[in-house]
Structure 1
C-alpha cells in the first residue's frame, strides 16, 4: 500500500502549523519567547485658549500608526465639549465643539504609541509642486539664483533638497539666502523654493520624544518626494532621514491647531516612556481585530476560558512525551496516558508535593485493595469501593496536613481520583498475575514518564508557545503521526544484543 497519502498529510500539517505560527508572529507581533518587553510612549497634548464667549470649534491634528510607531489607544478629556474624529487621506484630526464658552479653556488628548519596527503608515497623497510661484521684487531674482545654484550641485530631488537647505545654513548662507530669510520663515520658504523647482515637498510637524519632558512643542520638518520614494529632511542641517525618536504628529502639511471662537491658542506636549509586557500589547491588538478570519487566538475568548485552555493546550505536549518514551525508549506505563493526567496534577501541586501525595495514596490504596480482593466482589463494585477509598484517603491526608500546618498538602485534591482508582486496581491485578517486579517496572515507568511530562509541560517557553501559537498543535500532530510510523527497535530492547557485543 502506498504511503504517499500519509506523508502528504504529515507535510500538510507541518506547513499549515508553521504558516499559522509565522502569521501570528508577523501580523500580530506575538513574541517567540515569554517575558519580552516593548517600549510604549505615553503622550499628552494640552490645548489652551481664551474663549470669546460664543460658539467654539477646535480642530487639532492627531498622530496615527506610522513607520516605527503603532497607535495603541487614545483618550480625550474635554468636559462639556462635543467630540468627533475625522479621517481623510491617511490623516486624522479631532474636532471639539461647544455652543457657549467663556474664559480660559483646556482640552486634553492622550495617546499610547508602541515602538515597533514593523508598523507602516497609511499612505498620504504627495503634494503637487507649484511651478508658477509668484514672488515680489527683488525676492524673485534671489529665489531663482538660489534654486539655480543648488540645482547645479545636485543629481536628484533628495540631493537638491540637501544642497538647498545647506545654502541657508550659517556656514554657506549667501546674500540671496539672507535676503529671503528677512521676509519669510525658513521652513515655508524652503517648501516654496522646492515646489518652484518642480520638487514635490511639504512641511510636516514632528514631536521629538524624550522621557519625562513637559511643555514641549512640535518642530517643523520637510518631507520630499522623488517618484514613489519619500524622505524626511531636517530644515536646519539638511540631514536626510527621520530620527528614531521623532513622531510625526501631522503628516499632510496642514495646520496642527485651528481655533474658531477663541484667542491665544496653543498646544503643548508631555511624554513618558514605559516598558510593558509584549503579551499584554498583543492581547489588545487581538481584541481589536477579533473579526479577522485568520485570527484564531485564545486571547479572543473570555478570561475564564483562556485560563482553561492554557492548561488544555499543554496535554498534547505530555502526550508527545508519552509517545516518545513508549515508542522509542520502550518504557512501560500503567495505562497509556495516565502519566499525562498525573503530570497535570503535578502542575497544580508542585512536583515534590505531588510525588509524595501520589505515592502515599497509591500505597494506602493498594493495601486496602488487597483486603477487598478477599471479599470476591464484582469488578464494578470493587472499583467503586476503591474510588470511595481514594476519596477518603485524599480527604484524610488533606485534613491531617492542614492540622499540621502543611498547606501544600491541601493541593492533593487536584489528583484525578477516578484515574488513581483505576491505577490502584490495575496495579493490584498486575501484582496478583505478574508479581511485584512488574508492578515496580510499570509504576516506576509511569512516575518517570509523569515527571518528564511535567517538566516539559511546566516549561515557561513551552507554555508560552502552546498558548499563543495554535499552529503548534498541528506540528505536534505531524510529529506524533511520524512517530506512530516507527517500527524499529526500542532503546531498552537493545540490551538483548549485549551478549553479542561481548562475544
Structure 2
C-alpha cells in the first residue's frame, strides 16, 4: 500500500470523526465540558376556582407548537382529579374532571423548557383558514370598509396591510373618526382588539388568527408572567407574527408560544369564578442531562443507540475503558518517537489503570514493593530449576500473598490506600516479575532496571492523562475522538526515522568533522648538504 493511500485514508477518518463531533456539539448541543450548564425555564399555570355542586370539568389549553423552545418535561398536579390529554390540529388541551369537589380548588400545570437548537426549530404550520366575519351594523360597517381602504392605500402586500391596520387601530397615525367608532366594539381589552383585527382581515380574505404566548424575559427568580395575545397572518406561503400592540413584525426571541387554538385558554363547565395565573422561573441545569433529555423528546433512537442508554454502572465502566486507547497512544509516542523501553506493549497502560484506584505516588510505591519482593523470590526459584509454567504459578501465588500482606499491614497503620493494592492486575504483576528477571539474566541488571523505570514512567504519564476529568468526559460523550487517534496511529505506523533518544545517543556523529591540518613540508636535504659557493666539493673547507 502506497503512502498516498495511507495518508488519504487517515485524512478521511479524521474528517469523519471531526464532522461527527461537530454535529453532536453544534446541533445536538452535547457539552465539551462536564460542568457546563444551560439556562432552563419552568413555566407554571395555576388554575384556581370555586366548584359548583356535582361534577366539575376544567379544560386548559397546553403548549403544542413552540418555535424556539423545546418542552423537556411536563407535570400535572390535580389532587383527586382524572386527567385526559387531547391533541388536535390546533394544539393540545388537558381536561381535569372530578365527581364532587368541596372548597377552593387549585390545579397546576408545570413545563420545563429550554431553547431549541437550529435543527429543532418548529415553524408555524397551521391551516390558513379565514376567521369569522365581524358582525357589524351601520355605521360600524361603513367605518370598517373606509378604514380598510385607507390601509390598503398605504400597503404593498398582505403583511404590510396587516401591520398598517394594527397601527391605525392603535392610534399610530392619529385619531380618526373611523378608529374611534370601531373602538367601541372591542374596548380597551388587548385580546378583544386582536380578535377584532383578525376579523377585519377576514373581510379582505386574509387568513389570520390570534395566538397566546409568554415573554420569558431574563428574570433570575420566580416571577408572575402575563399571557399576551399575538397575531399571525398568512400571505399564502408562510405565517408572519405581528405584535397587536405596536404592529412590529417577527417573533421575539424570548416569546414562548402557549396556544394557537381558537378556544379560550381556560374553560370550566358551568362558568364558576376562576382565575388563571402564570409564573416563570429560570435556573441553570446540567448541559449533558439537558441534551440527553432533549434528544429523548425529539428522537429517542439517538439516545437508545448510544452509550447514554446503558445503565449507570455500565456507563462508568466504559468511561474507564474508553481511556485505554488514550494510554496506548501515549505509550506509542513514548516508544516509537521518544524511544522509552518498557516491558511489553500494553503493560504500562494496565498499570496506569491500576493507579486510578491507588493514586500515583502510592501506586508506584506499592508496585515497587511487590515487584521488588517478587524478584527476590524469583531469583531463589531460579536455583530450583523449575519449568516455566510452574514457576509463573508460584510467582502468581506469591504476588497474591504479597498483596494480602501489604493490605493487612497498611490497614493496621491506618493507610487506606494500601487496601487498593488488591485491585492491581495479578497476572500483569507476575509477568512483570518474570520478564524483569529474564532481562536481568540475559542483558544485565542495568537493562532490566532501565526498562522497569521506563515502564513506570509511561504508566505514570498515562495515568495523569487518563485520569483527567475533562478528557474522560470528552471521550465518553464524543467517542469519535478515538477515530482521530486511530488515524494518527496509522500515520505513525509508517514512521521509520530516528527516535529522540537515538538523536541524543548518536549526537556526536551529527557534528561536522574538524578540518585536517596539512603537515609542514619536509626540509630539502640536497640544499642543506651542498657546499657553499666558491669551495671545492672534494676537500671541505679548502679553497682552490
Q: What is the CA–CA distance in structure 2 between the aligned matches of 1:64 and 1:86, rounded to whole Å? A: 11
Residue 472 of structure 1 corresponds to 481
Q: What is the CA–CA distance in structure 1 between the aligned matches of 2:150 and 2:357, rounded to whole Å? A: 77
Q: What is the CA–CA distance in structure 1 between the aligned matches of 2:483 and 2:262, rounded to whole Å? A: 50
Residue 85 of structure 1 corresponds to 85
Going from structure 1 to structure 2, the CA distance change for 1:174 and 1:363 (only over 3 Å counts) comes to: farther
- Aligned counterparts, 1:150-189, within 5 A: 150-170=151-171, 172-184=174-186, 185-189=192-196
Q: How many residues matched?
A: 503
> In 2, are the aligned partners of 1:369 and 1:425 still within 8 Å (CA)?
yes
Q: Which runs of 5+ in 2 are unaligned?
A: 187-191, 513-544
Residue 274 of structure 2 corresponds to 265
Residue 319 of structure 1 corresponds to 328
C-alpha RMSD over aligned residues: 2.7
Asked which structure has the greater CA Rg, the reply is 2
Going from structure 1 to structure 2, the CA distance change for 1:131 and 1:270 (only over 3 Å counts) comes to: closer
Residue 355 of structure 1 corresponds to 364
Q: 1:186 deviation in Å? A: 1.7
Q: 1:201 deviation in Å? A: 2.0
Residue 385 of structure 1 corresponds to 394
Q: What is the CA–CA distance in structure 2 between the aligned matches of 1:256 and 1:487, rounded to whole Å? A: 74
> In 1, are the aligned partners of 2:374 and 2:398 still within 8 Å (CA)?
yes
- Aligned counterparts, 1:177-216, within 5 A: 177-184=179-186, 185-209=192-216, 210-216=219-225
Q: 1:95 deviation in Å? A: 1.8
Q: 1:6 deviation in Å? A: 5.3
The answer to whether 1:24 aligns with 2:24 is yes
Q: Output one character per residue of 1:389-447: Cα deviation in whole Å (capped at 9) or x when no partner.
A: 22222222222222222223322332212111111111111111111221232122212
Residue 315 of structure 2 corresponds to 306
Secondary structure in structure 2 of the residue aligned to 1:220: strand
Q: What is the CA–CA distance in structure 1 between the aligned matches of 2:75 and 2:163, rounded to whole Å? A: 39
Q: What is the CA–CA distance in structure 1 between the aligned matches of 2:447 and 2:319, rounded to whole Å? A: 36
Secondary structure in structure 2 of the residue aligned to 1:499: coil
Going from structure 1 to structure 2, the CA distance change for 1:237 and 1:398 (only over 3 Å counts) comes to: same
The answer to whether 1:432 aligns with 2:441 is yes
The answer to whether 1:60 aligns with 2:67 is no
Q: TM-score, normalised by structure 2?
A: 0.84
Q: What is the CA–CA distance in structure 1 between the aligned matches of 2:14 and 2:182, rounded to whole Å? A: 66
Residue 423 of structure 1 corresponds to 432
Going from structure 1 to structure 2, the CA distance change for 1:432 and 1:497 (only over 3 Å counts) comes to: closer
Q: What is the CA–CA distance in structure 2 between the aligned matches of 1:176 and 1:383, rounded to whole Å? A: 104
Q: 1:231 deviation in Å? A: 3.2
Secondary structure in structure 1 of the residue aligned to 2:285: strand
Deviates more, 1:479-488 or 1:428-437: 479-488
Secondary structure in structure 2 of the residue aligned to 1:182: helix
Going from structure 1 to structure 2, the CA distance change for 1:309 and 1:90 (only over 3 Å counts) comes to: farther
Q: Which runs of 5+ in 1 are unaligned?
A: none
- Aligned counterparts, 1:32-47, within 5 A: 32-47=32-47
Q: Output one character per residue of 1:171-218: Cα deviation in whole Å (capped at 9) or x when no partner.
A: 533332222112213211222223333433211111222443455441
Deviates more, 1:211-220 or 1:70-79: 211-220
Going from structure 1 to structure 2, the CA distance change for 1:366 and 1:121 (only over 3 Å counts) comes to: same
Q: What is the CA–CA distance in structure 1 between the aligned matches of 2:97 and 2:21, rounded to whole Å? A: 46
Q: What is the CA–CA distance in structure 1 between the aligned matches of 2:328 and 2:246, rounded to whole Å? A: 63
Q: What is the CA–CA distance in structure 1 between the aligned matches of 2:90 and 2:398, rounded to whole Å? A: 70
Q: 1:224 deviation in Å? A: 2.5
Q: 1:300 deviation in Å? A: 0.3
Q: Output one character per residue of 1:75-127: Cα deviation in whole Å (capped at 9) or x when no partner.
A: 11222222122122262211222344455332221111123443422643143
> In 2, are the aligned partners of 1:19 and 1:471 still within 8 Å (CA)?
no
